[in-house]
């Protein structure tokens, strides 16, 4: 497992060294993010730590060798490493995540509004797919594929996509994203679990269903497992 883990990280690092990041290019060597503006000297994506106070730990994260807790209704867990968890990623245009799946677990339809995602399956198998944006006089097209250990799949920036474990065993995947903070919009959560709620009149007309269906969906707890 240790050797496979290192190979995974190496592959993801290589992939993203060959593509352009979607975030703006940095104008300095680094800009370690800091949460308190009163201590900041520079601004580039986030407030930056004084370079004279930066140390190696600002570029370090540990724990991706540990599985996430998939004991939830979706049967999946995402362990993110973006600028929130790793301050040294600020302005560098990349981030990383580990995704664990219980048997038949699902990472539900969602989008990353600020980043393209490349997914590598480390163990197990996944059914994955994404849907194109609206095309004049056409239906939204679905691209789907079954992936096995060692397979890679790309989800273009901003498009709705999903991953589902189709095996009776656990599955592990790693994702690299072309943003320090790609963001996540989980479709069901955003539509039926927003605060305050979207007007049932809007959703009734949008989905062409009876109001009691919308009321039921809005009354449910929508699990958020995403980064």
Q: Residue 198: CB partners within 8 Å, gap ≥ 6?
A: 191, 192
Asked whether residue 44 carries a pLDDT value surpassing 60, the answer given is no
pLDDT at 25: 62
What tens digit of pLDDT does each residue of 7-26 get? 565 555 545 544 455 666 65
Q: What is the pLDDT of residue 18?
A: 44
CB 88 within 8 A of CB 46: no
- Between 91 and 226, the more confident residue is 91
Q: State the pTM of this model.
A: 0.83
Q: Which residue has the higher pLDDT, 197 or 225?
A: 197
User: What's residue 28's pLDDT?
Assistant: 62
Q: CB neighbours (10 Å) of residue 3?
A: 7
pLDDT tens sequence across 177-191: 999 989 999 999 999
Instruction: Tell me how far apart the alpha carbons of residues 81 and 97 are, in angstroms, rounded to a whole number.
Output: 6
Please, what is the average pLDDT of the chain?
Answer: 87
Instruction: Give the pLDDT band (50/70/90) at residue 121.
Output: very high
Query: What is the distance between the alpha carbons of residues 186 and 193, in angstroms, rounded to a whole number?
Result: 10
**pLDDT digits 0-9 by tens, 163-177:** 999 999 999 999 999
């Amino acid at each position: 497992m240790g050797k496979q883990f290192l190979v995974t990280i190496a592959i993801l690092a290589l992939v993203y060294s060959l593509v352009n990041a979607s975030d703006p290019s940095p104008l300095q060597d680094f800009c370690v993010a800091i949460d308190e503006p009163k201590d900041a000297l520079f601004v580039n994506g986030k407030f930056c730590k004084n370079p004279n106070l930066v140390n190696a730990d600002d570029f370090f994260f540990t724990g991706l060798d540990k599985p996430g807790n998939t004991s939830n209704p979706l049967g999946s867990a995402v362990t993110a490493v973006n600028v929130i968890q790793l301050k040294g990623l600020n302005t560098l245009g990349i981030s990383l995540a580990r995704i664990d799946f219980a048997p038949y677990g699902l990472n539900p339809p969602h989008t990353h509004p600020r980043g393209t995602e490349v997914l590598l399956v480390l163990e197990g198998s996944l059914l994955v797919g994404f849907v194109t944006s609206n095309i004049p006089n056409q239906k939204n097209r679905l691209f789907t594929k079954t992936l096995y250990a060692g397979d890679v799949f790309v989800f273009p920036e901003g498009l709705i996509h999903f991953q589902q474990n189709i095996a009776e065993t656990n599955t592990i995947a790693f994702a690299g994203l072309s943003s320090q903070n790609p963001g996540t919009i989980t479709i069901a959560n955003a539509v039926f679990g927003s605060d305050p709620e979207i007007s049932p009149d809007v959703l009734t007309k949008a989905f062409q269903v009876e109001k009691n269906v919308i009321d039921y969906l809005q009354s449910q707890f929508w699990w958020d497992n995403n980064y």
